[in-house]
Structure formats: structure tokens, C-alpha cells
């Protein structure tokens, strides 16, 4: 039976309206999607001028560059994570630091996570490292040969702690050169903080004979016994970058450090009778600066090599592209990093505990 002519003319209008509603619903779906999935899916940076937006744990970066997988004094690790991207100033500092480290007698740097190509929340492992201004450096010295891609994935970390004791540096592993390496990182004017395990901070407080004013930049935090974490300041003129509160005056070898050696930071929270299971919460695009939407949607460069850093020693031809990777969540660690100017009222639980 043929449809009435009026209904026939109405069908195309209804279909068009349906498509319009679908288009309107699409942005809403993206806004509800965890931002880590959106940023984690980007394999290359935004082809824009270099600029961080937001804070270290809630932001993104435009115009990031990759550090080459190999340099004269460094090798990048865990390449499958695709996290060797950062602000050009961060990458330039790592090159300078690697050369200075060799002058101290350190063979070279093994580089851990810096940031994703467009920053933002990561699929695993960190809450910070979102604006290209953070970098992890292994306490393991660079070997005397170029590691294969497989070796970079499998090489185990080396803890500087004596796991048979509570918050104690292992004197069989920790050396004076380790101390000089951490303090050299803190010496650069653009470095805002260097995060280490509380036991390492105490070791430096007890033994460091150099400029003790720099000790204030070295901040104690959960974990960080296998690597240390360098954070640089917001670049000059980066209006969209939100700086962290200024480091407190003094060397930090005081009550704020002593607190870490009490039971309080390590106590498990006591569950309440009426407590309900907490639903996992993730950052969405609505939680990030508006500029991050533009960064996420921006065009990519033609290739990774086009945006691989080429400084004094950067050799872009060695850059390798990988994808994937995974870690354990560390939001509790980053919560203290983000607010380390005072003792936390609510103590996060370390993952894992340093003495385990």
C-alpha cells in the first residue's frame, strides 16, 4: 500500500533531524569519555607552537617534541609507552643534564617517562607528567652498550632501599655519585622540584656536603626509590601554564621530613560501617583547560622524525615509534606531589609501600 504523499515528504526531514541529533550527541559522548583514553590514543603531538596548558596533574601540551631514543649520554627506556615527549625546554634540559652527569662520573642517563605526545592524563602509571614539564630518571646508570628495544622493556629497576628495613637506603647500592646526580638535577635554575623517596632525602640531609640551599628543592614522596622525578617551572610567557606553589624556605631536613618516618603516612585508612564502594572517577575533557580540546583536535605532523628534538647531541635518525605499555595506578603518589608544601590532612596509601 503506497504511503500518503505528505508522509513520503516527511520521511527525509525526519532522517535529517535524526542525523542532526546524532551529531549533537557525539561531543557529549566524548566529553564523558575518560580523557586518558583520548590522549592515550594520540601517537603524535599537536602541530602547534609549544605551550603547556593547565597544571602538572590536570593539563596538556601543544607542540611537544620527542627526545631521540639514543644520545651520546642517554638512552630512553620503556619505548612502548610512547612517553618520551615534552616541552622543548624539558628536552633541552635532559640533554644538558646527561652531559653534566658524565662529568660527575655517571655513565649516562636512562630516561623514564616524560609525557605523552599531547600530554594529558595517562592510561596508566601517573597522575602528573601531563604538561611536558616532568621527567623520570632511573637510578640505574646507563650500560656501556646500546640496549635493544626488548632490553629497554625488560630491564628491571634497581631500588636504592634496603627492603629488609624501614625507609633505609641500601649502602651497597647508593653511592656518592648518586647523591651528586640528584643534587646536580636540583641545581638548574629552571628546575622547580626533584622528587625522591623519603629515605633518600634523609640520606642527603645526613651526608650532603655541598650547597645545602639546594636541598630544599629535593622533596620526599612515596615510591621514587628506583628513579627520581625532575619537574621544571612553567616556561616564561606560558600564560596557560599553572605553576605549583613555591617550595618552602629551608633545606627540608626538618619536621616535614621526620613525619615520613612516623606511622601516620603508612597507616591504612580505617573503613567506616556505612562506607559504600567508591566508583572509579576519571578526568574528562570537562575537567581540563578548554585549550586542551584544541590540542586534542589539532592536526599531527607528517612524521615522528619531523618533531624529534635535534640539539647538540640529538640524533633524530635513531628515533623509534612504539605504542602500548602499562603500569599500576599512582594517583595517591601524585596527590602528595601536587601539594607538598604542607603535611597532608588525608594520607594517601603508597603503591607499593617502600618497606615491602
**Which residue shows C-alpha cell 629535593?**
218
270 has pLDDT over 60? yes
Q: Taking residues 58-80, report their average pLDDT.
A: 97
Q: Is residue 350 part of a domain?
A: no
Write phi, then psi, for 264 (nearest 5 degrees).
-55, -45
pLDDT at position 338? 53
Which helix (H) or strand (E) segment holds residue 22: the answer is: helix 5-32
Give the span between the Cα atoms of 131 and 86, in whole angstroms: 7
Does residue 18 form part of some domain? no
Domain range for 309 is 23-235+252-259+283-338
> Does a structural domain hold residue 231?
yes
Looking at residue 32, its pLDDT comes to: 84
Q: Is the dihedral of CA 185, 113, 206, 259 positive or negative?
A: positive
pLDDT in tens, 76-135: 999 999 999 999 999 999 999 999 999 999 999 999 999 999 999 998 877 899 999 999
Residue 9 located in a structural domain: no
What are 74's three cell numbers?
642517554
CB 87 within 8 A of CB 52: yes
Q: Is the pLDDT higher at 192 or at 10?
A: 192
What are the strands, taking DSSP E only, across the chain? Answer: 51-55, 58-62, 65-66, 70-71, 74-76, 85-86, 109-111, 134-138, 191-196, 218-220, 227-232
- Structural domains in the chain (count): 1
Q: Name the band, by pLDDT with cuts 50, 70 and 90, for residue 325.
A: very low
Please give the Cα distance from 42 to 61 (Å, whole number): 12
Return the top range by mean pLDDT from 28-37, 78-87, 269-278. 78-87
Average pLDDT of the chain? 84
Eight-class DSSP state of 141 = P
Contact 216, 29 (CB under 8 A): no
Inform me whether the pLDDT recorded for 247 exceeds 80.
yes
pLDDT at 23: 37
| pLDDT bracket for residue 331 (50, 70, 90) | very low
Q: Give yes or no for residue 75 having a pLDDT over 80.
A: yes
Q: Decide which of 29 and 158 is more confident.
A: 158
CB-based burial, 315-329: b 16+ in 10 Å, e otherwise: eeeebeebeebeeee
- Over residues 261-268, the mean pLDDT reads 92
Confidence at residue 261, expressed as pLDDT on a 0 to 100 scale: 96
Mean per-residue pLDDT, 164-187: 97
What's the pLDDT band for 9 if we cut at 50, 70, 90? low
Per the domain annotation, does 95 fall within a domain?
yes
The answer to the question of residue 8 being in a domain is: no
Comparing 349 with 274, the larger pLDDT belongs to 274
Q: Given this model, what pLDDT does residue 2 score?
A: 53
Q: Does 270 sit behind a cis peptide bond, omega within 30 degrees of 0 on the bond before it?
A: no
Residue 166 lies in a domain: yes
Is 29 a member of any domain? yes
Q: Is the pLDDT of residue 57 over 90?
A: yes
Average pLDDT estimate for 203-231: 96
Tell me the three state secondary structure of residue 103. helix
| Chain-centre distance for alpha carbon 100 | 23
More confident residue, 173 or 278: 173
Give the C-alpha separation, 332 to 223, whole Å: 11
User: How would DSSP label each residue in 266-318?
Assistant: GPPPPPPTT--PPPP----GGGS-THHHHHHHSPPPS-TGGGB--SSS--GGG
CATH number of residue 150's parent domain: 3.30.1380.10
Q: How confident is the model at residue 319 (pLDDT cuts 50, 70, 90)?
A: very low
> Does the pLDDT of residue 173 top 80, yes or no?
yes
Amino acid at each position: 500500500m503506497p504511503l500518503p504523499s505528505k508522509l513520503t515528504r516527511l520521511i527525509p526531514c525526519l532522517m535529517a533531524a535524526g542525523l542532526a541529533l546524532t551529531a549533537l550527541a557525539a561531543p557529549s559522548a566524548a566529553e564523558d569519555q575518560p580523557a586518558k583514553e583520548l590522549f592515550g590514543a594520540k601517537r603524535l603531538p599537536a602541530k602547534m607552537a609549544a605551550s603547556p596548558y593547565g597544571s602538572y596533574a590536570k593539563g596538556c601540551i601543544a607542540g611537544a617534541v620527542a627526545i631521540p631514543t639514543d644520545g651520546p649520554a642517554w638512552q630512553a627506556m620503556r619505548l612502548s609507552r610512547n612517553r618520551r615527549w615534552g616541552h622543548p625546554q624539558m628536552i633541552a634540559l635532559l640533554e644538558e643534564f646527561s652531559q653534566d652527569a658524565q662529568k660527575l662520573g655517571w655513565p649516562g642517563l636512562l630516561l623514564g617517562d616524560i609525557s605523552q605526545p599531547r600530554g594529558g592524563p595517562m592510561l596508566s602509571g601517573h597522575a602528573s607528567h601531563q604538561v611536558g614539564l616532568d621527567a623520570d630518571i632511573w637510578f640505574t646508570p646507563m650500560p656501556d652498550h646500546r640496549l635493544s628495544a626488548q632490553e629497554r622493556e625488560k630491564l628491571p629497576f634497581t631500588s636504592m632501599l634496603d627492603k629488609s628495613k624501614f625507609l633505609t637506603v641500601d649502602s651497597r647500592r647508593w653511592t656518592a655519585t648518586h647523591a651528586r646526580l640528584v643534587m646536580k638535577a636540583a641545581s638548574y635554575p629552571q628546575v622547580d622540584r626533584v622528587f625522591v623517596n623519603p629515605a633518600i632525602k634523609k640520606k642527603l640531609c645526613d651526608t650532603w656536603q655541598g650547597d645545602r640551599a639546594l636541598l630544599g628543592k629535593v622533596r620526599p614522596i612515596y615510591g621514587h626509590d628506583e628513579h627520581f622525578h625532575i619537574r621544571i617551572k612553567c616556561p616564561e610567557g606560558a600564560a596557560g601554564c599553572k605553576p605549583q606553589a613555591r617550595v618552602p624556605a629551608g633545606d627540608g631536613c626538618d619536621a616535614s621530613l621526620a613525619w615520613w618516618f612516623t606511622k601516620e603516612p603508612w597507616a591504612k585508612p580505617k573503613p567506616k560501617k556505612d562506607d559504600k564502594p567508591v566508583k572509579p572517577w576519571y578526568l574528562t575533557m570537562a575537567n581540563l583547560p578548554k585549550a586542551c580540546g584544541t590540542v586534542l583536535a589539532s592536526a599531527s605532523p607528517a612524521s615522528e622524525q619531523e618533531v624529534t628534538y635535534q640539539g647538540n647531541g640529538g640524533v633524530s635518525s635513531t628515533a623509534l615509534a612504539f605504542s602500548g605499555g602499562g603500569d599500576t595506578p599512582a594517583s595517591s603518589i601524585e596527590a602528595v606531589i601536587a601539594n607538598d608544601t604542607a603535611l597532608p590532612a588525608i594520607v594517601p596509601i603508597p603503591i607499593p609501600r617502600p618497606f615491602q
